[in-house]
A = this chain, B = another copy of it.
Amino acid sequence: MNERIVDLLKKNHLSITDSRKKILSHFLDSNGALAHADIEHKSGTEFDRVTIYRTLQTFVEKGIIHTIPTTDNSVRYALCKDECSAGHHHDDHVHFMCDECGTTYCLDHVTVPKVELPAGFTATQNDLVVSGLCNKCS
């Protein structure tokens, strides 16, 4: 496990630090997406708030995690698939937010359908967020 974390950091040319290892492990342990506040709680007083912000930002830039647009306009992050790399995310999967337990899921196997846009509009990214009840809450 620790092995995998170090490898992931190395692969992305990031220096191996306690905070990066710990924050990455939280993502690997979690099945849903995490908000900044979640990580802050899980970490206790171990790291500074600012470090968490900067680490998340770095991970996004490197393509290790991606942000999820949410209906309640809070920022959440989830692990990217292997195919994502620095400056090039390809997250064409649907996200699901449970109204009951609040968990945000990456539905990696459900792809966002393309839609026909009005004349003159061109799409570079499509984000679909579905809310409702998850499999644990229904």
B115 touches A130 (CB 8 A): yes
Given contacts A73-B67, A120-B135, A125-B131, contact A113 B115 (CB under 8 A): yes
A135 cross-chain contacts in B, Cβ below 8 A? 118-121
Kindly state whether residue A133 has any CB partner on chain B within 8 Å: yes
Q: How far is the CB of A129 from chain B (nearest CB, A)?
A: 5
A138 cross-chain contacts in B, Cβ below 8 A? 120-122
Which residues of chain A from 60 to 117 have a CB within 8 Å of any chain B CB?
A: 67, 69-71, 73-75, 94, 96, 99, 107, 109-110, 112-113, 115-117
Most chain B CB neighbours (cut-off 10 Å) among A73, A75, A116, A120: A73
Kindly state whether residue A5 has any CB partner on chain B within 8 Å: no
B71 touches A74 (CB 8 A): no
Closest residue to A108 on the B side, CB-wise? B118
B70 touches A73 (CB 8 A): yes
B71 touches A73 (CB 8 A): no
Using A110-B115, A120-B136 as known contacts, list a sample of 16 further A-B pairs with CB atoms less than 8 Å apart, ordered by residue number in A.
A67-B71, A69-B71, A71-B127, A73-B73, A73-B75, A96-B117, A99-B124, A110-B116, A110-B117, A122-B132, A123-B131, A124-B131, A125-B131, A126-B128, A127-B131, A128-B129
